Amino acid sequence: MAEQTPSPAPEPAVEQARQRNLNLETEHGTTVIDDTVVGKIAGIAAREVSGVYNLGGGAARMWGAVRESLTASSNVQQGVNVALEQGHASVAVAIIAEYGVAIHELAHAIRENVTVAVTRMTGLIVDRVDVTVHDVHLPGQEHEPADPVPAPRVDQ
């Protein structure tokens, strides 16, 4: 008989790639959740945290304001990026913090709220939530109006 040599143990990265999220893959079928769904859930969860003034950096907020003025709807996914792979999610959230909050505690609360919401609503395993603080909102500071001078009325 030929001598058998044991096959080498799979590398950790390969083993991780083989792991499946049992919430999404069953013997009865597979559930696919789009990254926009996860982005919306994460955006809403981040906004719920006390101390978050708004989501997104300068450019994202500018485009969000333009979109809101044109469509009369807000983008709850603004400032949120999601990467999904085999039942796992990585989320990046960009925020503007309220002045006076402890930013490290705020980031921790955002991570917790986003992780709980995404896991509860999708069954995905959240591997990480990265938080980037782009600005601090000062008390009394308001956004400049998109149209500071009202359009003249046309009387008929």
Residues 67-100: tens digit of each pLDDT: 455 555 567 889 999 999 988 999 999 999 999 9
- The confidence score (pLDDT) of residue 126 equals 97
Average pLDDT of the residues in 48-59 = 88
Confidence of residue 148 (pLDDT cuts 50, 70, 90): very low
The pLDDT value recorded for residue 72 is: 57
Which one-letter DSSP state was computed for residue 138?
P
Name all contacts of 29-37 with Cβ < 8 Å and 24+ positions apart: 31/123, 33/84, 33/122, 33/124, 35/82, 35/83, 35/84, 36/77, 37/122
Of residues 82 and 6, more confidently modeled = 82
Pick among 3.30.70, 2.40.360, 1.10.10, 3.40.630: CATH of 48-58+78-138:
3.30.70
Residue pair 133/92 in contact by the 8 Å Cβ criterion: no
Q: What is the pTM of this model?
A: 0.69
